[in-house]
Amino acid sequence: MKGVSSAPGDYVHFKSQVPLHKIPIGVKQWRYYDFGPKVVPPLICLPGTAGTADVYYKQIMSLAMKGYRVISVDIPRVWNHHEWIQAFEKFLDAIDVHHIHLYGTSLGGFLAQLFAQHRPRRVRSLILSNTFLETQSFSAAMPWAPMVSWTPSFLLKRYVLTGIRDGPHEPFIADSVDFVVSQVETLSREDLASRLTLMVDNASVGSLLLADSFITIMDTNDYCATPQNLKDQVSERYPEARRAHLKTGGDFPFLSRPDEVNLHLQLHLRRVGVEAQPDLVRRVKAVTAVSAGDSSNQRGDPVNVSEDNGEKSTPPPSENQSPPAEEVTETCDFEEKQNTDEHPAQETTGTHSFEEKHATEEIWEAESDPLEV
């Protein structure tokens, strides 16, 4: 099993580029990532029992670079489905988001359907992956469900991990399992108990006002923790929904098959009328690069101006000059930028030069229309 110290390289890059947000709303602590142009109605990703906001990092980076806004959240500590609906609505109000598109896997897909049922005006579309309509079968398979809230952490983790198929996997699927296992290790006893309670608390999804044409069902055809008969119930409930079948991918196709998943997500968003804003991405990247250059110039770094086109260029260091610091990577950070430290998988404090942040905000104000309410 891989630990945090052996996190994938693209995850290390993600942590250095995308800030982690933590906000208290009432007695609930919300942990989430929010990346992409704020004028675009967001795609909100809801993980399964074993997942965290981090498991969707490949979707956040890929779709945000194409001009979509992606928000990935941890499921907070709620103990029944009514509490989930109220807490999630307060979260959306707190971050000033009104109309949303939900992508949920396993438990996250179930919670997405419940929210769409009870708050139909806010949910514009659904992408459901390896999910279910009711929890009765999980409750029947877990006779000790009433004692979940008193169960020790190591037993809860063991129970969650037994739901992940063990055995030989192809490299990409094996890596996805290792990554999710490392995320499970970061969850507290209360987090695990809350999620398992949501899995076994008897409830079922009622009829949705959302038309089937605004729903995409994206399942893996090889194996996953959700029984096939429960996945079939979802397909039967939404007969006119779009199908996006993945031949392989295991329990976590968003990690093991990110290109396929990202393509289906992009096609879904286009089909339901979400317009990406790639121009805003390019402009913010350009402002970030220019601001970084200006900051270097203010520090006294030598800068030459080309006579042909007026472009600035920094000459290579001479023998008497010390080599420049590590090259600054251009980023599409829309709010704040994290620094990579010796432990990149841990949360770091985002920093920006004043000129860079101020210039970026001016570009957003000049180019962006307010989010449609």
Quick one: average pLDDT of 243-266?
96
Pairwise CA distance, residues 355 & 224, whole Å: 48
Question: Are 344 and 356 contacting, i.e. CB atoms less than 8 angstroms apart?
Answer: no
The residue among 165 and 96 whose pLDDT is bigger is 96
Residue with tokens 């993945």: 246
| pLDDT of res. 79 | 95
- Whether 101 is in a domain gets the answer yes
Looking at 237, 271, 305, the residue that finishes a domain is: 271
The two structure tokens encoding residue 32: 């989430």
| pLDDT of res. 205 | 98
Residues 282, 266 share a domain: no
* Entry field: residues in the chain: 373
Residue with tokens 């982690």: 20
Residues 244, 122 share a domain: yes
Question: Are 222 and 189 contacting, i.e. CB atoms less than 8 angstroms apart?
Answer: no
| pLDDT of res. 163 | 85
Residues 37, 118 share a domain: yes
- Whether 194 is in a domain gets the answer yes
- Whether 124 is in a domain gets the answer yes
Looking at 248, 271, 294, the residue that finishes a domain is: 271
Chain-wide mean pLDDT for the chain? 81
Structural domain count of the chain? 2
Could you report the per-residue pLDDT of 122-131, keeping only the tens digit for each? 999 999 999 9
Asked whether residue 352 carries a pLDDT value surpassing 70, the answer given is: no
Residues 300, 177 share a domain: no
DSSP-based three-state secondary structure for 256: helix
Quick one: average pLDDT of 104-108?
98
Quick one: average pLDDT of 164-188?
91
Asked whether residue 301 carries a pLDDT value surpassing 90, the answer given is: no
Output DSSP code: residue 66. Answer: T
Give residue 302's domain range.
278-367
Residues 251, 103 share a domain: yes
- Whether 373 is in a domain gets the answer no
- Cα–Cα separations (whole angstroms), residue 102 to 36, 52, 63, 84, 370: 16, 16, 14, 15, 21
- Whether 372 is in a domain gets the answer no
- Cα–Cα separations (whole angstroms), residue 232 to 166, 177, 221, 237, 238: 24, 24, 12, 9, 10
Residues 171, 47 share a domain: yes
Residues 146, 219 share a domain: yes
Asked whether residue 333 carries a pLDDT value surpassing 50, the answer given is: no
- Whether 86 is in a domain gets the answer yes
- Whether 26 is in a domain gets the answer yes
DSSP-based three-state secondary structure for 298: helix
Quick one: average pLDDT of 120-140?
96
Looking at 214, 248, 271, the residue that finishes a domain is: 271
* Secondary element (H or E) of residue 84: helix 81-94
Residues 256, 302 share a domain: no
CATH code of the domain covering residue 218 = 3.40.50.1820
The residue among 352 and 54 whose pLDDT is bigger is 54
| pLDDT of res. 167 | 72
Instruction: Output the pTM of the full model.
Output: 0.77
Residues 207, 126 share a domain: yes
- Whether 41 is in a domain gets the answer yes
Could you report the per-residue pLDDT of 302-318, keeping only the tens digit for each? 434 333 334 444 444 44
Residues 297, 247 share a domain: no
| pLDDT of res. 360 | 42
Quick one: average pLDDT of 146-150?
89
Residues 319, 264 share a domain: no
Residues 196, 266 share a domain: yes
Pairwise CA distance, residues 209 & 287, whole Å: 43
